[in-house]
Amino acid sequence: MSIEQFIENEVKSNDVVLFMKGTPQFPQCGFSGQVVQILDHVGVPFKGLNVLESAELRDGIKVYSNWPTIPQLYVKGEFVGGCDIVREMFQAGELQQLFTEKGVVVAAS
Amino acid sequence: MTMSDLITKKLTEAFAPQSLVVTDESHLHAGHAGHRPGGESHFRVYIVSNAFTGKSRVERHRMINALLAPELEGSVHALAVSALAPGDATT
């Protein structure tokens, strides 16, 4: 399987995927950590993929999305954005709205 | 020219911003992966421009990322971006 097929499979078979540095339990970058905190706060289950474990994945995800930085959030196969965008959307209430529109179940807050 | 000056110059020429603040935050990331001696690795950009009117957040970031691609491939490790159009609520 090519790295592109691997990424495609991950973002299509999981509702919410975060490509990040480190793991959701142990983020190894402040920007990745911020997105984990926001997703946890919203109460949405997500799959974290650690790009530090694979140079191929780290490079591949940047090409896949045409986006030069990590973290990258995908919802239902669609690229949402990086740390700044996720934070702005969260603060504006748009992130929660996106999950609702996409039919992603979030924990009641 | 410092990296901040270069980023400021490129953004000014490309987007004719009404407001632009480029901050070198490298010192906040000392010891962190991606930091390097001499700094100039972590930057924050606040920009307001008509060029972003009607563009999504992802589109706005892509415009800036494309412009600064050589720098992002080089010594710039992180670029935090707030890209607003005039009239956008400042959050």
Distance from CA of A1 to the nearest CA of B (A): 27
Q: What is the pLDDT of residues B8-25, one digit of tens each?
A: 999 999 999 999 999 998
CA torsion through residues B50, B54, B59, B60, sign: positive
A24 touches chain B (CB under 8 A): no
pLDDT at B77: 86
Crossing angle between the packed helical segments A83-91 and A30-42, to the nearest 10 degrees = 30
- Band (pLDDT 50/70/90 cuts) for residue B88 is confident
Of B62, B73, B81, the CB nearest to A84: B81
pLDDT at A34: 97
Q: What three-state secondary structure class fits B38? A: coil
pLDDT at A58: 95
- C-alpha dist (Å) from residue A62 to A36, A58, A59, A67, B74: 19, 7, 5, 5, 15
Chain A residues with CB under 8 Å of B57 CB are 81, 85, 88-89
B33 touches chain A (CB under 8 A): yes
Amino acid at B89: A
- Do residue B80 and residue A88 have CB atoms under 8 angstroms apart? no
Amino acid at B13: E
10-residue mean pLDDT series, chain A (109 residues): 96 98 95 97 97 96 93 97 96 95 83
Distance from CA of A6 to the nearest CA of B (A): 23
- In this predicted structure, the answer to whether residue B32 has a pLDDT above a threshold of 70 is no
CATH code of A3-102, in short, is: 3.40.30.10
The structure tokens listed for A1 are: 């399987």
Of A68, A79, A91, the CB nearest to B58: A79
Q: Is the complex ipTM more than 0.85?
A: no
pLDDT at A106: 86
Chain A residues with CB under 8 Å of B66 CB are none
- Residue keyed to tokens 């421009």: B49
List, in order, residues 6 or more apart from A6 with CB less than 8 Å away: A57, A60
List, in order, residues 6 or more apart from B3 with CB less than 8 Å away: B24, B40, B43, B71, B75, B76
Q: What is the pLDDT of residues B51-78, one digit of tens each?
A: 999 999 999 999 999 999 999 888 898 8
List, in order, residues 6 or more apart from A26 with CB less than 8 Å away: none
The structure tokens listed for B16 are: 């004719």
Nearest CA in chain A to B80: A84
Closest CA to A33 of A43, A18, A55: A18
pTM of the model: 0.87
A93 touches chain B (CB under 8 A): no
